[in-house]
Structure 1
Amino acid sequence: MNPDLDRLHPYPFEKLAALKAAVSAPSDVKDIMLSIGEPKHEPPAFVLDTLVKNLNKLSNYPTTKGLPELRNAIAHWASRRFQLTAGTFTAEHHVLPVNGTREALFAFAQAVIDHRKPDALIVSPNPFYQIYEGAALLSGAEPYFLNCTPENNFIPDFASVPATIWERCQLLFICSPGNPTGAVMSTAQLKELISLADQYDFVIASDECYSELYFDEKNPPAGLLQACAELGRNDFARCVVFHSLSKRSNLPGLRSGFVGGDAKILEKFLLYRTYHGCAMPVPTQLASIAAWEDETHVIENRDAYRQKFDAVLEILDGVLDVAKPDASFYLWPKTPIKGEIFAQQLFAQQKVTVLPGSFLAREAQGINPGEDYVRMALVAPLAECIEAAQRIKQFVKSL
């Protein structure tokens, strides 16, 4: 067996299950789950209709590259959304459909990392989506974590990273809007990273799966491709983005997203994926086209999250050290006691499940930046989110 499998950490939700199993919770109240980032809003009916109407196409083998119609829909969406120069982001060369960003983020590292070079690093934010770490370890690279703290507005301080680290870096994972903090990187910050990638010859993998969950309709989060376009970097060299329908369209079970960017990298990634055996089923592709071509349901989705954030933050005002994030559907409150104890005792007393921030982070530069935090995913219906906030308020007041 691959010995690096033994280096993988249990997934955060395994740790959470063990934490909850050590206590008992009230039996007479409903368990409200704010722990997992699984959208609970209704999926768009027209997408489900498209899926059902095309189930007969399961008799066809799909191609790894995907239907031209799907790649065209994605290219048009990304070009509009990120203000790309007309004709530069093409369906033929700059887009690959993938079975959700989780699968693609992991696979991308396996294709990009040259493990034959000694001391290869994959650099990522801390806290982070655990796939980044697993992808690093199983690609033959070592993970290197950059702490996201209030002092740097929960964005890694890239300027403080030593040149010796950048020289070893082969792949940089970034996540904007961030999981779990919701922090959004500016185009200026993205441009600085592109400059570093050129200087030190590494690839940037930008996880942007929360990019469509934001509060100001006139000010959507910037993306890595957008920064490229503003630089006139129309080949998107060293830059690859990951997008998904899971959060944007409330379709986590569809397992549909795309990878886009540097055509030379994607050409090799397509070759890898051809052997990987990860082609998207044709009915899924056709349903995905319908989703990418419609914005009305996405706007309605954002409205629903705004209502939940406003209601929950009003209840928690003065109770927890918490603020509305730049984007995403997460709250990242600082807890008055250690995050693990807070999560365990909150469940024991109020049967509300949140995720300890320490489970999403590692100790780096002498600290675990998630230790005094919990992540709350406002994915439950509005009434449940309000009830959860009221229970959390009652719990904090009891401390």
Structure 2
Amino acid sequence: MNTPERFSNLPDYAFPRLRKLLHGTEPGGEVVDMTIGEPRHGMPGFVAPVVAQTVDEFAKYPPNEGTPELKAAISGWISRRYGVSLDPETRVMALNGTREGLFNACLALCPERAANGDTPTVLIPNPFYQVYAVAAVAAGAEPVFVPATAETGFLPDFASLPEDVLARAEIAYLCSPSNPQGAVADALYWRELIGMAEGYGFRIFADECYSEVYRNAPPPGVLQVAAEMGADPEKIVSFHSLSKRSNLPGLRSGFVASGPANMAEIKRLRAYAGAPMPLPLQRVAELAWCDEAHVEESRALYARKYAIADEIFAAWPEYTPPQGGFFLWLKVDDSEQATLKLWRETGVKVLPGAYLGREVAGVNPGAGYIRVAMVTKDTDELQDGLTRLRDCLAG
């Protein structure tokens, strides 16, 4: 199968589809953009000084896997956050954000054939972050979309899949806290999924980029639970980012952590196809992983946003307060119609949930929802936008 054929069945990415939906329609009020998950809280104060102090390092080729100092900072953060000690040289690698890692790790680790000789499957929550499906298709695997609905606690029930699908599984993607629903996988969920991974022989790709944006207790991480179980570290691949944690989406900085054998394969592909972060940006990332004060300040602002949303949508049908992340996943009759109505009548811009899901057996689990990003720096703007949204769609 050549590349055009392989990708021909993929729908357009969510944001080009949104632009087409709204094209030609004027906003019905002052625009409040709640579409993209781009944090707008203040950046850490050390960013500009560090870049200024290290600007001469733009003249150097950066280390492909991350500087020793950055890898040590990442390993130290993992130890403080999850109580897990990982060798920074063999167990972690810096990334240009998690999207790069989520895609390239699938190419590096998904075999051309499953153990039984059939086409491998890649298990994907539905709805989902769209890079998961593109990575599966690029690797020549069959993407299998697993509904993550209110009935399953907005997390995929992988155990409900047919035996033959699980027998061919090579990778299972899971985002916790989840995008778009804000559901958190607890320790029991992780233990059961890790048990399945060891039993069926697949790897868990844990997208944990929202791990530091939460309501109450810190979400348990896959590295933490796997270590407590004594699980095979090669079954676990964890991805983290500074985009959400540190309000640095433009830094394009994250990391991947796994077992030494997995990391060797990921690094080998990175040597040929990866683009390392410029050195001044690696210096910023090093400090960001070592500092928690700016993270706590940002999380306190999100706590106020949760409270605002809970109050405004207290009477909203089937309102489920997010336990983590910064999205609201609001029930509507039709996601496209609701999005268009909001834009036309209020100027509030949201994302149709249907654009984040895939239709399986005639059902798209995102079609009856809209995703609302609570990323504004100003809580007054947030309150105004959410109030307009509620009054428009509840009327």
Establish whether TM, by shorter chain, passes 0.5.
Answer: yes
Root-mean-square deviation over aligned CA pairs: 1.4
- Whether the 8 Å contact between 2:67 and 2:282 is mirrored in structure 1 is yes
For 1:190 and 1:99, how far apart are their aligned partners in 2?
A: 26
Aligned to 2:230: 232
- Sequence identity (%): 40
1:359 and 2:360 aligned: no
For 2:109 and 2:127, how far apart are their aligned partners in 1?
A: 23
For 1:133 and 1:319, how far apart are their aligned partners in 2?
A: 32
For 1:5 and 1:232, how far apart are their aligned partners in 2?
A: 39
1:269 and 2:266 aligned: yes
Aligned to 2:367: 371
Alignment TM-score, normalising by the size of structure 1? 0.95
Deviation at 1:343, TM superposition (A): 0.7
Aligned to 1:24: 26
1:221 and 2:222 aligned: no
Deviation at 1:200, TM superposition (A): 1.4
For 2:279 and 2:9, how far apart are their aligned partners in 1?
A: 36
Letter in 2 for 1:98: L
For 1:211 and 1:180, how far apart are their aligned partners in 2?
A: 14
SS at match of 1:39: coil
Letter in 1 for 2:133: E
User: 1:140-183 CA deviation, whole Å, 9 max, x = no partner?
Assistant: 11110110111111011122112111111111111111000011
Aligned to 2:276: 279
Aligned to 2:97: 100
Deviation at 1:25, TM superposition (A): 2.2
SS at match of 1:230: helix
For 1:121 and 1:388, how far apart are their aligned partners in 2?
A: 41
Structure 2: unaligned runs, 5 residues or longer? none
- Whether the 8 Å contact between 1:128 and 1:361 is mirrored in structure 2 is yes
For 1:108 and 1:319, how far apart are their aligned partners in 2?
A: 40
Aligned to 2:326: 329
Which residues in structure 2 correspond to 1:5-154 (within 5 Å)? 5-26=7-28, 29-84=29-84, 88-117=85-114, 118-154=118-154
Structure 1: unaligned runs, 5 residues or longer? none
For 2:27 and 2:298, how far apart are their aligned partners in 1?
A: 32
Which residues in structure 2 correspond to 1:291-306 (within 5 Å)? 291-306=288-303
For 2:27 and 2:60, how far apart are their aligned partners in 1?
A: 49
Deviation at 1:132, TM superposition (A): 0.3
For 1:103 and 1:8, how far apart are their aligned partners in 2?
A: 19
- Whether the 8 Å contact between 2:30 and 2:346 is mirrored in structure 1 is no
User: 1:373-394 CA deviation, whole Å, 9 max, x = no partner?
Assistant: 0000100121111110121122
SS at match of 2:8: helix
For 1:363 and 1:5, how far apart are their aligned partners in 2?
A: 17
For 2:222 and 2:20, how far apart are their aligned partners in 1?
A: 38
For 1:201 and 1:397, how far apart are their aligned partners in 2?
A: 47
For 2:360 and 2:221, how far apart are their aligned partners in 1?
A: 27
For 1:275 and 1:19, how far apart are their aligned partners in 2?
A: 39
Deviation at 1:277, TM superposition (A): 3.3
Letter in 2 for 1:105: L
For 1:246 and 1:8, how far apart are their aligned partners in 2?
A: 26
For 2:321 and 2:101, how far apart are their aligned partners in 1?
A: 29
